[in-house]
Chains A and B, each alone.
Chain A
Amino acid sequence: MSGIKNQLELINLEKRYGDTIAVSGIDLSLPDNTYCCLLGPSGCGKTSLLRMIAGHEEITSGDVILNNQNISDKSPAERSTSMMFQNYALFPHLKVIDNVAFALKIAGVNKTVRHARAMELLESVQLHTMSERYPSQLSGGQQQRVALARALITKPKLLLLDEPLSALDPFLRIEMRSELKVLQRKLGITFVHVTHSQEEAMALADIILVMNDGKVEQQGSPMTLFNKPRNAFVARFIGGHNVIEGQGLPISIREDRIKLTLGGTDEVTGVEFLGSVVRLKVNSGLGPLTVVQSDMEFTQARLDLGDQVKASWSKKDQLQLEA
């Protein structure tokens, strides 16, 4: 190992459809063994970006570099990347084992070898007992594991996941989420994961790219993004922040850093008990605010709808945002 090398590099990547710009000015440098999430609302270009890395979308300009090799003009299979599709795209006419072994069959590997290798992978996702079934006979979570095994059989250096958890029910989603992270660390390869859920991105990623309108608004670790959102879009999208108008530029203040004291001109308009925390909506002179209190803090004051309060925070918790 020659220290940290930048495994995946994107240089000024751009995608246009005619005159419409889908994605532009993407620069990214990911070290080895990184979990990266592309986060943004639908239509922000995150899937286009992923498909450009995978080679399923032609690159208008810019370069994709993987392990110091320019792969911009290579076919998907030559890139040593592998993609897991949003609805898994399992071949309905093939048994689970043949789905997993598909890439090896195409590569001309003989049946015993490719089935043995597929069984190994199926065992690693605990599906070896299902190898003779067809995809339609599996649950959503099982299909997802098959798709994962199929993507990994080519031993990719980079795994690309297009909203891998969105088709699962909430309970399973959280379970699979932690499994994905464990798997990424075990394999030691880089995952690039597209999602529109900030919760998912925060839980998984080493590096998050927050995207909007075909551009990267901010990139960094989940902690950096949460503690220092660059602009109003990131602060709102990442959640947990109030964005209010400052002098000229917007400022953000974390929901859990606002204090409410009885007697003032601000009105409580909502109280949501969420277990360990309580979320309050307050109509203040600066606009509507969301305030999160710990349950202990809440039981002291017991604020209710219609109570008159005063919202305040210390100056150091106030964060200046860019326009």
Chain B
Amino acid sequence: MKVAADSFGGIMIDVKKHSAALLSLPFALVIFGFFVVPLCLVIMVSFWDYNSYSIIPDFIFTNYHDIFYGCVKSLPDLCTSFATYLSSLKFVFITWVITLIIGFLVALFLCFCVHSLQMQIVLFLLCTIPFWTSNVIRMISWIPLLGRNGLVNSTMQNIGLTDSPVEWLLYSEFSVILAFVHLYALFMVVPIFNSMLRIDRSLIEAAHDAGASSLQTLTSIIIPLSRPGIIIGSIFVITIVMGDFITIGVMGGQQIPSVGKIINVEMTYLQFPAAAANAVILIITTLMIIFAMTKLVDIRKEL
């Protein structure tokens, strides 16, 4: 009897000792099955060969070579790949800056200017309302507003601001960025808001007590302590915009190239190895941006 009880106790202790590992096991399996395995497959296929009808297991670098073919030789003129990446990077950068400013200010307002918890919840839910409809509908709804004969143009003409319709409102880089900001600003708001909620109010008072102005409190206390939220939000926005091709297609009138679009086209022609190679390059680029960004933020903290 005593032995049985002891061994039972032993099992209990074992479970306790490994509880952290056991608890994280289900999610680790999900990550493994739905992220690690597909990623490895993509990397593997990117080294395969292909012809018009089939893909052939192999280990060649042709797919990568094709992407950057002639790119170095033609410098300073940009080859298609470089131009496309540069265009995507431009969108990423501008969208990131604008969503960061908007996201930070909205979170700041919700967290420090709205004092009742109920009001915070109500306003926060208001922020999420656009997400009750699909991405495509939210994009398309800009068209009647920004088009040649859209609401904005007709209003401007009616009040005499312009004589003829403004062309750059729709199917332009402007409309692409507008849609990106509209679609993804919330991805910035949520993590930053979350970080800000964790800031102890007495820290703000302590800063005031030490003589800090509101601006000094913002730069020396609130921004550094919101840093985790800023980084997480930035990763969301950067990765989504980097791989996006639907928004660029719809809002750019199918006239603006994007990395995602290249991959998409290659997939429709069943050139899976080429698409895989492009995807790997895209992932590496995105990781490099994120890495550089976290470094940048780290350096700022040291100053």
Q: Which residues of chain B from 191 to 211 have any CB-CB distance to chain A below 8 Å in the complex?
A: 200, 202-203, 205-211
Contact with B along A57-85 (1 / 0, CB 8 A): 00000000000000000011100001101
Q: Is there an interface contact between A83 and B209, defined as CB atoms closer than 8 Å?
A: yes
B246 within 8 A of partner (CB) = no
Q: Which residues of chain B from 66 to 88 have any CB-CB distance to chain A below 8 Å in the complex?
A: none
Q: Is there an interface contact between A91 and B216, defined as CB atoms closer than 8 Å?
A: no
Q: B interface, by DSSP: helix, strand, loop or mixed?
A: helix
B301 within 8 A of partner (CB) = yes
* Given A89-B200, A92-B225, CB of A106 within 8 Å of CB of B205: no
Q: Is there an interface contact between A86 and B202, defined as CB atoms closer than 8 Å?
A: yes
Interface size on B (CB < 8 Å)? Answer: 18
A107 within 8 A of partner (CB) = yes
| Residues of chain A with a CB closer than 8 A to B202's CB | 85-87, 89
A93 within 8 A of partner (CB) = yes
Size class of the contact patch on chain A: 20 to 34
**Which of A85, A105, A154 contacts B206 (CB under 8 A)?**
A85
A121 to chain B, nearest CB (A): 14
Contact with A along B211-241 (1 / 0, CB 8 A): 1100010001100110100000000000000
For the complex, give the distance between the alpha carbons of A195 and B212 in Å.
28
Q: Is there an interface contact between A154 and B200, defined as CB atoms closer than 8 Å?
A: no
| Residues of chain B with a CB closer than 8 A to A86's CB | 202
**Which of B211, B225, B227, B301 contacts A103 (CB under 8 A)?**
B211
Residue pairs across A and B with CB atoms within 8 Å: the count is 58
**Which of B212, B225, B227 contacts A106 (CB under 8 A)?**
B212
Q: Is there an interface contact between A56 and B211, defined as CB atoms closer than 8 Å?
A: no
A191 within 8 A of partner (CB) = no
Q: Is there an interface contact between B205 and A93, defined as CB atoms closer than 8 Å?
A: no
| Residues of chain B with a CB closer than 8 A to A83's CB | 205-206, 209
A-B contact pairs, 30 of them (CB 8 A): A54-B209, A56-B205, A56-B208, A56-B209, A76-B211, A77-B209, A77-B210, A77-B211, A82-B209, A83-B205, A83-B206, A85-B202, A85-B205, A85-B206, A86-B202, A87-B202, A89-B202, A90-B206, A91-B206, A91-B221, A92-B225, A93-B224, A102-B212, A102-B220, A103-B210, A103-B211, A106-B207, A106-B211, A106-B220, A150-B210
Q: A105-B220, A106-B210, A154-B211 are in contact. List 19 more A-B contacts (CB 8 A).
A: A56-B209, A76-B205, A76-B209, A76-B211, A77-B210, A77-B211, A83-B205, A86-B202, A87-B200, A87-B202, A89-B203, A89-B205, A89-B206, A91-B221, A93-B225, A102-B207, A106-B216, A106-B220, A154-B210
